Structure 1
Amino acid sequence: MTLQTNTHQVTLDYYTLQDLRNIVNTTPRLALHPDVVAKIEAGAQFVLEKAAEDRYIYGTNTGFGSLCETRVENEEMEMLQFNHVVSHAVGVGEIVPQKLSRLMLFVKLLTFRTGHTGISMAPVQRLIDMWNHDIVPAIPKKGTVGASGDLAPLAHMALPLLGLGKVYYKGEVVDSAGVLEKMGWEPLRLKPKEGLALTNGVQYINSRGALALMRIEEMIKTADLFAAMSSQAFSTSETFYQAPYHETTYHPERKTVAANFRKVLEGSNHHELPTCNKSKQDPYSFRCIPQVHGAIRQAVNFAIDIIEKECNGVSDNPLFFPESDQILFGGNLHGESTALALDFVAMATSEMAYISERRTYQLLSGMRGLPDFLVNQPGLNSGFMIVQYTAAALMNENKVLCTPASVDTIPTCQLQEDHVSMGGTSSYKLETIVDNAEYILGIELLTAAQAIDFNKPLQLSPATQKLYDEFRQHFTFMERDRVMSDDMERARTYCAENRAKWIEQFGLA
């Protein structure tokens, strides 16, 4: 990944999901605002002063977890922090993408910027230097229970500061020790509390969740567009998205979906065709699009709000308050808010895919003047019959993955940590649900385009005609049976790569 020459100064401001998207996608050089530096330095000095006193300070001069009553002598505090990082680096599985590691690093800086974690400038600056030189920690995917922080993933993020572990460097995963040597960087010696500050917090599950939500936020808008294509192909009524109907409710998200429909379908004659249902009672997968897509938007907005708050807040324990001369102990290391939000939005994303799959099914059903399975000579040809099977298989997986991970807590650490969030699992399965949903939405667009070609009297709206024409430049009409796997793979990629463009092009809210 090529770093930009512009510099982003990390401030004390509130970072929205869009801000995080811009940071992780444009990868500017990073620097700290002077106010942030002052807060970090004040917090670090406060920790050193308190560590010199004859008192227990958890994670600073004591053991960790259920070993919190074990006092560690002052001369062993550096070893304590080193041991903490290396002993907690227990992640397993594939190495996560660089984009996720980068976002984790940035979100960790947002926790450090307040000075409440007690970390000094040396580790913070080393993380910034790594970012600025495109040296990205290599972090295994699995191993966090999402309480007492994402200990394992964050320990792997911290290892390169000590000259241990692995990093992405020039496109390869290599030992960090060699990279530090090339850069002329010495391994850091951690001061009191710094090992714990590096590993405590839920930056892993927050970052995984943020990346998933960046995709979902775009998908739900283009889902309106694809549903509008399907609605025309199926010759639906126009009444279900009319403004007066939706003024009877208090759900702004429904109104947004209906407004998107009115915008992109203006000029279409789909509701005037002889095949349109005269009773205006279209199947729910069409007639209830504003209600279902609107509810999904509500869940997505809720999850975004939670993730933004979590990314901007301080996730660590204990926290240090130099201004009031306080050290406070609590549970800001617990990822329950994130885990619940991700489990919730997983269900919503699955529903977005499910209603899309149902529209695909309806288009293949031989109704509204369309041929069975959208192919000439059905029987000799199977057409899109088995395309829907793949969508059904993906939906089955999504439904299984909707089981909430957050309700299946498993006690750890001799019952000291007797309730954990399992937000790591929530984040993994959400990612898979999003992947499957991308396929299913791509299948809907493939199917809608095929159905439109059979709906000869149909006059598409100017907006959707543009989408159709563009799509047909890449995906041809199925004249007779052919291998469709490649089309389905390409449709998923094509839709994902063009989401942002379509949102702007068609003015989707």
Structure 2
Amino acid sequence: MYTNKESYKMSKISSHFHFGEDYLTAGKAIKIARKELKGIISNDAREKIKSSRNIVENIVETGKPVYGINTGFGPLCTTMISKEETRVLQSNILQSHSVGVGDPIDHEISKLMLILKLQSLAKAYSGIAEKTLDRILWHIDNDAIPIVPSQGSVGASGDLAPLSHLFLPLIGLGKVTYKNKEITTSKLFDLTGLQAIELGPKEGLALINGTQFIAAHAVKVVEKLHSCLSQADIIGAMMIEGLQGSVKPFYNELHALRPFKGTIHVASRVKSLLKGSEIMEDHIDCDRVQDPYSLRCIPQVHGASRNAWLHLKELLEIELNSVTDNPIIINEELTISGGSFHGQPLAMAIDYACIAASEIGNISDRRIYLALEGNSPGVPKLLMEDTGINSGYMILQYTTAALASENKGLCFPSSADSIPTSLGQEDHVSMGSIGGRKAIRVIDNVEKILAIELLTAAQAFEYRKPMKSGPILDEIHKMVRTKVSFAEKDRVFSDDIEKGIDIIRNNSIIYLANEVTKKKNLSLETKFSSLFETY
């Protein structure tokens, strides 16, 4: 069974992705980053790239003033640059704009930035040289990934600072991670025989103008939030079993009367997970009229977060297949200096997704608290028989409360802020770069909360034995028990939590749910589509 990401990856067949021509999704970008999909530049794309480059060279030759080609940048847009100085300008802009601070971004996000930038530039509206794109592709293929500071972008006029750091290695500067070591670019050149590229007119600006820092973070948000949403549905269903909640709030007849996509999706999925459960049948005629909201409203709450995820995914796919450079080279007669570098379209959606992620953690914490109350028949208070001398699972909920509260503080929308830059030329910015970083922090916390709910639900689930649940939940409970044993007395629960976090971050319960569905030929309603096939 596919109980971890590595075994699932080995089952997939690689193919090719054509930069600048094929439709890029978050899933495809991640596949390229993880070497599960090979990215190439086709001959047709190369011809278009050369044509676009020729237009830029002609502009320089004629001396016609065009922003960023033979003028200065930002507030210096009226300063003309001579033909001889246009090349020096490109190197200078990478150096002067490399002002990032803070811890480096994750290696994979930096690699995603390279992939997303190559996709945009290969569309041949930026006047970039073919050799420059080939060097970027070399960095991707050889995992020579630039080290990029996490702070310094305001998310408009492109992610200038992080993109400048990303492309310093092209001109022999900066640092990279290569063969699991952090080295200088000069050392990389010594090891590989590469030499610095001399950037031509407009190339420096084309490299650093764009939203790839924001978009790369959004790719990770789409991946990680989707994983949390899928696992929250499974864990929520397990908690319903453990606390003997009602299945009726998941009936389609109810949700057809308020047909939000996310609500219908979640309700159908949870209902399928509970199908065939002896535990559910055992209390079908009980006198409990309704469950607390954290159980009963799983379709509405999880579903609303899923709607937010879907909205970000749809907007992100537009961005991944767009040209976010400035100016844009349309043809020989038309170049346009516009604002396609502005991060606002993604910034607002990322903030929405950040709130959506936080709410998954919020309701998960409430289910954990509910499980500890001892109000469900057969389930002891604090999920342990001998309490008093033992605290049971009480303190685990302190951790989830702390994480949920921290997330609420991180949910202030970054896109609601704007500080003018560039001497007022850039007088409205998106702060989407901050929103992207913040959203990932929130999701990291949600993963920890879900891990604790998984442990809590498995503990409650134990008290329903020897009754069986549905086939998927039973197999997941067995898998959890191979990692974390039933707790009869207090122990160092942080060890259990770390194992739970590993289960969540490895997507083990998703892969297992898919495999059980396939093996037992269950209804497609129960299928937990793979991360990579879903987006």
Residue 303 to residue 98, structure 1, CA distance change in 2 (3 Å): same
Counterpart AA for 1:146: G
Cα offset for 1:500? 4.2
Structure 1 distance, partners of 2:268, 2:39, is 40
Q: Which amino acid aligns with 1:501?
A: Y
Equivalent in 269, 284, 304 of residue 313 of structure 2: 304
In structure 2, which of residues 357, 364, 373 is the aligned counterpart of residue 365 of structure 1?
Answer: 373
Deviation of 1:242 after TM superposition, in Å, equals: 1.2
Q: Distance in 2 between matches of 1:139 and 1:222?
A: 31
Q: d(CA) in 1 for partners of 2:490 and 2:126?
A: 62
Matched, 1:353 2:361: yes
Matched, 1:40 2:49: yes
Tell me if the contact between 1:222 and 1:502 (Cα under 8 Å) persists in the aligned partners.
no
The answer to whether 1:225 aligns with 2:237 is no
Distance 1:448 1:16 in 2: 34
Matched, 1:129 2:129: no
Q: Is residue 508 of structure 1 aligned with residue 528 of structure 2?
A: yes
Quote the Cα distance in structure 1 between the aligned partners of 2:144 and 2:219. 22
**Counterpart residue number, 1:247:** 256
Alignment of structure 1 residues 132-171 onto 2, 5 Å:
132-171=141-180
Using structure 2 for the length normalisation, give the TM-score. 0.91
Residue 411 of structure 1 aligns with which residue? 420
Alignment-mate amino acid for residue 170 of structure 2: L
* Aligned-partner Cα distance in 1 for 2:192–2:440: 35
Cα drift, residue 455 of structure 1: 3.4
User: Residues 441 and 178 of structure 1: is their aligned pair in 2 closer, same or farther, counting only changes over 3 Å?
Assistant: same
Q: What is the rounded CA distance, in whole Å, between the counterparts of 1:23 and 1:214 in structure 2?
A: 14
Aligned to 1:52, the other structure's residue is in SS state helix
Contact 1:452 1:458 in 2 (8 A): no
Separation of aligned partners in 1, 2:302 and 2:24: 27
- Aligned residue for 2:524? none
SS at match of 1:168: strand
With over 3 angstroms needed to count, the CA separation of the structure-2 counterparts of 1:162 and 1:73, relative to structure 1, is: same
Partner of 2:473: 464
How far is 1:183 from its partner?
2.0
Match of residue 177, structure 1, among 175, 186, 202: 186
* Paired AA for residue 128 in structure 2: I
Q: Which residue of 2 aligns with 1:334?
A: 342
1:428-467 aligned within 5 A? 428-456=437-465, 458-467=467-476
Question: Measured at CA, do residues 411 and 28 of structure 1 come closer, stay the same or move farther in structure 2, by a change above 3 Å?
Answer: same
CA shift, 1:17, in A, is 2.0
Give me the TM-score of the superposition, normalised by structure 1.
Answer: 0.96
Query: What is the identity, as a one-letter code, of the residue corresponding to 1:240?
Result: P
Answering whether residue 64 of structure 2 is matched by residue 61 of structure 1, we say: no
The percentage of counterpart residues that share the same residue type is 37
1:344 is aligned, of 333, 338, 352, to 352
Q: After TM superposition, give the deviation of residue 121 of structure 1 in Å.
A: 0.7
What amino acid sits opposite 1:364 in the alignment?
L
Is the contact between residue 180 and residue 186 of structure 1 (CA under 8 Å) also seen in structure 2? yes
**Superposition pairs for residues 148-297 of structure 1, below 5 Å?**
148-273=157-282, 278-297=287-306
Task: Return 197-206 or 136-145, whichever deviates more.
Answer: 136-145
Residues 325 and 340 of structure 2 are in contact (CA less than 8 Å); yes or no, is this contact kept in structure 1? yes
Which residue of structure 1 lines up, in the alignment, with residue 406 of structure 2?
397
Distance 1:440 1:40 in 2: 48
Measure, in 2, the Cα distance between the counterparts of 1:286 and 1:27: 38
Superposition deviation, residue 261 in structure 1: 1.4
Structure 1 portions without partners, runs of 5+: none
Letter in 2 for 1:355: I
Larger displacement relative to structure 2 (22-31 or 355-364): 22-31
Residue of structure 1 in register with 2:486 after alignment: 477
Q: Does 1:78 align with 2:87?
A: yes
The 1:276/1:148 distance shift into structure 2, 3 A limit, reads: farther
The one-letter amino acid of 2:459's match is: Q
Aligned mates of 2:168, 2:59 — CA distance in 1: 26
C-alpha RMSD over aligned residues: 1.9
Give the C-alpha shift of residue 502 in structure 1: 3.5
- Preserved contact between residue 401 and residue 429 of structure 1 (Cα < 8 Å): yes
Superimposed CA distance per residue, residues 107-164 of structure 1 (whole angstroms, 9 cap, x where no aligned partner): 0011111111111112111111222222111111111111010111110111001000
Give the partner amino acid of 1:477.
F
Q: Deviation per CA, 1:411-431, whole angstroms, max 9, x where unpaired?
A: 111111011010111011111
Is contact 1:12-1:114 (8 Å) kept? Answer: yes
Which stretch shows the higher mean deviation, 91-100 or 308-317? Answer: 91-100
Count of equivalent residues: 507
Cα pair distance change 1:45/1:175, threshold 3 Å:
same
* SS class of match (2:412): coil
Whole-Å Cα distance in 2 between the matches of residues 278 and 25 of structure 1?
53
Amino acid at match of 1:67: L
Pairwise CA distance, 1:30:
3.5
Does 2:39 align with 1:15?
Answer: no
Using a 3 Å threshold, how does the CA distance of structure 1 residues 77 and 277 change in structure 2: closer, same or farther?
farther
Pick closer, same or farther for the CA change 1:117–1:277 going to 2, 3 Å: farther
CA apart distance, 1:99:
1.1
Distance 1:414 1:226, change over 3 A: same
- Alpha-carbon spacing, 1:265–1:80, altered in 2? closer, same or farther (3 Å): same
Compared with structure 1, are the counterparts of its residues 275 and 242 closer, same or farther at alpha carbon in structure 2 (3 Å cutoff)? Answer: closer
Structure 1: distance between partners of 2:285 and 2:366: 18
CA-to-aligned-CA distance 1:45-91 (integer Å, 9 cap, x gap): 00110122232211111111111111111111111111101000111
| Residue 273 (structure 1) shift | 4.0
* Distance across 2 between alignment mates of 1:250 and 1:274: 29
Whether 1:487 and 2:507 are equivalent positions in the alignment is: no
Residue deviations 1:388-410 (CA, integer Å, cap 9, x gap) = 00000000110000100110111
Distance 1:372 1:359, change over 3 A: same
Kindly report which structure 2 residues correspond to 1:90-101, keeping only aligned pairs within 5 A, or say none: 90-101=99-110
Is the counterpart of residue 89 in structure 1 residue 98 in structure 2? yes
